[in-house]
Amino acid sequence: MPCQGRVRAVAGRAANLVHMTSSAITASGLRKAYKDKVVLDGIDLDVPTGTIFSLLGPNGAGKTTAVNVLTTLMTADAGTIRVAGHDVATDTKAVRAAIGVTGQFAAVDDLLSGRENLQLIADLKRLRPAESKQIVTDLLERFDLTESAQKLASTYSGGMRRKLDLAMTLVGKPSIIFLDEPTTGLDPRSRRTMWEIIRQLVADGVTIFLTTQYLEEADRLADKIAVLDGGKIVAQGTPAELKRQIPGSHVRLRFATDLDLDTAARILTDATRDDEDDLVLRAPSDGSAKSVRDLLTQLDTNSLDVEEFSVHTPDLDDVFLALTGKTNTKVSA
């Protein structure tokens, strides 16, 4: 019956749509080697649409190679990659039409002005003249480049070049944007501006794939982080999940005298002495108000005076240091 067939087709399209909206980028078994040096050794990724995914790793971990393979700049040796619902190997043109890429080094034309750089990309994207003029003006405005729009890009500062670079990436409204270390070499102020821009993009529904070596950046921006080391994903999860994997959330107590310290050590049986400071005890704690209050009450009832007190929760630095450099320990969130 033709009617049934129609229903099935619609259902099929709906299912397809659900699939497309759920994942912006998927990769499985991704491998890439240069001659005999394996750079990516079987990587699996899944980036939901409209989220920020951060690939974190030390220098030389393979972050840029991963971006190059995902953005069609390089072909993978093995594995399947789908970006915006298209297979990177077989449907390269469709992938290119859907993505925007901002690499590690500002890809701007030094001999063109800021406006001309944006216009160049608008022309290459075949936008209508009236439309492109509007888009170029809007982007210059949005990135605070209107005043320097007529100046050659070679006269721009590092931060301005990065902004122009990202603005060029945004011409034509890509749905997925790859940012390879977008804030490396930027001053703290420009870095914050860049973060703001990235957050705004995600609010508009764009998916961001971000590589960075700044843990703070991943912590602040990313919905999900994957730690890449030695060509493998050694951990994956939300920033909170990753931090939870690292034991070491504790309360640091500093006492005035050895006597106090000894007494405290007898009461708090699971506390350990600090290696660096012999007047300090480290008591395991999840950092919640209740557990801290209980701990302090315990000390109080024994009339122990604490000279200095701090709650230490592991940050991504701890996670990073614990996870990288030891490629054999695989932790999953």
Partner 1 sequence: MPSSTTTMLGRNFKHTLRNPVAVFNAILFPIVLLLMFVYVIGGAFDIPGNYIDYATPGMLILTICYGLSATALSVNTDMTKGIINRFKVMDISRSAVLSAHVAASMLRTVIALAAVTGVALAFGFRSPGSFTDWLGAIGLLVLVAFATTWITVALGLAAKTPESAGMITVPLVMLPFLSSAIVPAETMAPGVRQFAEYQPFTPIIETLRGLLIGEPSGSKALVAASWCVGIALVGYVWSLSTFKKRA
Residues that bind partner 1 (CB under 8 A): 68, 71-74, 93, 96-97, 99, 101, 103, 105-112, 116, 120-121, 123-126, 128, 152, 168-169
Closest CA to 195 of 161, 208, 205: 208
For partner 1, give the closer residue by CB, 72 or 324. 72
In the DSSP assignment, the letter for residue 305 is: P
Q: Which residues of 175-210 are buried (b: 16+ CB within 10 A; e: fewer)?
A: bbbbbbbbbbebeeebbebbbebbeebbeeebbbbb
Residue 99 or 215: the one with the smaller Cβ distance to partner 1 is: 99
Contact yes or no for 71/127 (Cβ under 8 A):
no
Which is nearer to partner 1, 100 or 237 (by Cβ)?
100
How crowded is the C-beta side of 239, counted as CA atoms within 13 Å? 18
Shortest Å distance, C-beta 92 to partner 1: 9
Shortest gap between Cβ of 122 and partner 1 (angstroms)? 9
Best CA proximity match to 248, nearest among 228, 265, 272, 220: 272
Joined tokens for residue 176? 């997925």
**CB 110, min distance to partner 1, A:** 7
User: What's the min distance (Å) between Cβ of 95 and partner 1?
Assistant: 9
Of 169 and 207, nearer to partner 1 (C-beta) is 169
In the bound state with partner 1, the residue whose beta carbon lies nearer, of 168 and 194, is 168
299-303: long-range pairs with CB below 8 Å, 24+: 299/253, 299/264, 299/267, 299/268, 302/263, 302/264, 302/267
Least Å distance, CB 103 to partner 1, is 5
Query: C-beta of 5: minimal distance to partner 1 in Å?
Result: 34
Residue nearer to partner 1 on the CB measure, 75 or 288: 75
What are residue 55's phi and psi, to 5 degrees? -100, 115
126: number of CA atoms within 13 Å, CB side? 1
Q: Could you give the angle at the alpha carbon of 238 between the alpha carbons of 62 and 20, nearest 5°? A: 80
Question: Given the complex with partner 1, which of 105 and 309 has the nearer CB atom?
Answer: 105
C-alpha–C-alpha distance, residues 41 and 26, integer Å: 16
Identity of the residue, 39 or 264, whose beta carbon is nearer to partner 1 in the bound complex: 39
**Nearest by Cα to 187 from 157, 211, 207, 150:** 157
Cβ contact 182:162 at 8 Å: yes
Residue 193 CB, shortest distance to partner 1, in Å, is 21
From the centroid of its chain, how far is CA 191?
A: 14
Report, in Å, the least distance between residue 179 CB and partner 1: 13
